[in-house]
Amino acid sequence: MMKAYLLLVVLTFLSAPAAAANERYYREDGTEIRYYLDNADAENLLVIFQGSDCNSVRHMKSVNTIWEAFDTDSALLTIEKYGIDDSLAYASGERDDCPADYLQYDTMAQRINDGVQLIEALRSSYREITLAGGSEGGSIAIGVASQISNFHAVLALNSCSSSFQHDVEFSIQQTVPTEHLDEVLTGFRQFVKQIKNSDEPFPVEVSGHGYAFWKDALARDLLQPLREIDAPVLVMQSADDKSVDPERTRQEVEEIIAGGATNVELEMMLGLDQGFRYSSDTSRLREKIE
């Protein structure tokens, strides 16, 4: 009886600890990384990164859609952007109440660092870890994947071409009326030049982002991380996307695959837009992920 008891104690000690959803983690500057861990005791972990809007990840319906389409038996890790928590009410489009800390400190680099830190802290509790994200979240997912090891796979949904500036200009060309197009493009390019040539931050809020975000995003090759990932990567790109350039994305991802990234697969989705819709149809996001 005593031997059986000792064996039970040893096996309990050696087993991986269950992930704690209430553990606190902090950035180097001392601020807390706010995150949510649903179904924490599951065997596998799915990490989903939201897109580029100024909203709490807790209020993004697409995140739950991706989770449900994958497997709700997995644990779900979602991470708030710097300065945001779930007390910020959801709003679509432009808003005038983005938190000041978010506008000052949110960057792709910070989101990637937060993701790496949390995944490394939680990985011992899970057998497999899968990363996913849409729009900017897809770029964050592959950015995180390039900096960690021993994970299962990555899914990037309508994420980007290599150039953030190119995709913004493409979006402007698709959505701005012809009579205003030159004026808007010229204004944006002047803004980009000002950001790139600046040595010191200055107050700015464009498309829900501050100076730090733009400085970081405009300097990045957003597809470079695909060359540095060993695990399987699926890039799903809607052919009628007006937020990023789908044809340039296709060409660049195919070049990366041809260059040796045989773990990367590209699926072009004909007729679908950024929201996985056919024209004004309902979203087919869940259907396409399944």
Task: Let me know if residue 200 belongs to a domain.
Answer: no
Q: What's the pTM value of the predicted model, to 2 decimals?
A: 0.91
- Domain coverage including residue 158: 23-163+222-289
Task: Let me know if residue 183 belongs to a domain.
Answer: no
Which pLDDT does position 188 carry in this prediction? Answer: 97
Task: Let me know if residue 103 belongs to a domain.
Answer: yes
Task: Let me know if residue 90 belongs to a domain.
Answer: yes
CATH number at residue 33: 3.40.50.1820
Task: Let me know if residue 188 belongs to a domain.
Answer: no
Tens digits of residue pLDDT in 7-42: 333 333 334 455 666 799 999 999 999 999 999 999
Task: Let me know if residue 230 belongs to a domain.
Answer: yes
- pLDDT exceeding 90 applies to what percent of the chain? 83
Q: What is the 3-state secondary structure (H, E, C) of the chain?
A: CHHHHHHHHHHHHHCCCCCCCCCCCECCCCCECCEEEECCCCCCEEEEECCCCCCCHHHCHHHHHHHHHHCCCCEEEEECCCCCCCCCCCCCCCCCCCCHHHHHHCCHHHHHHHHHHHHHHHHHHCCCEEEEEECHHHHHHHHHHCCCCCCCEEEEECCCCCCHHHHHHHHHHHHCCHHHHHHHHHHHHHHHHHHHHCCCCCCCCECCECHHHHHHHHCCCCCHHHHHCCCCEEEEEECCCCCCCHHHHHHHHHHHHHCCCCCEEEEEECCECCCCCECCCCCCHHHHHC
- How many domains are contained in the chain? 1
Which pLDDT does position 22 carry in this prediction? Answer: 78
Which pLDDT does position 18 carry in this prediction? Answer: 57
Tens digits of residue pLDDT in 131-169: 999 999 999 999 999 999 999 999 999 999 999 999 999
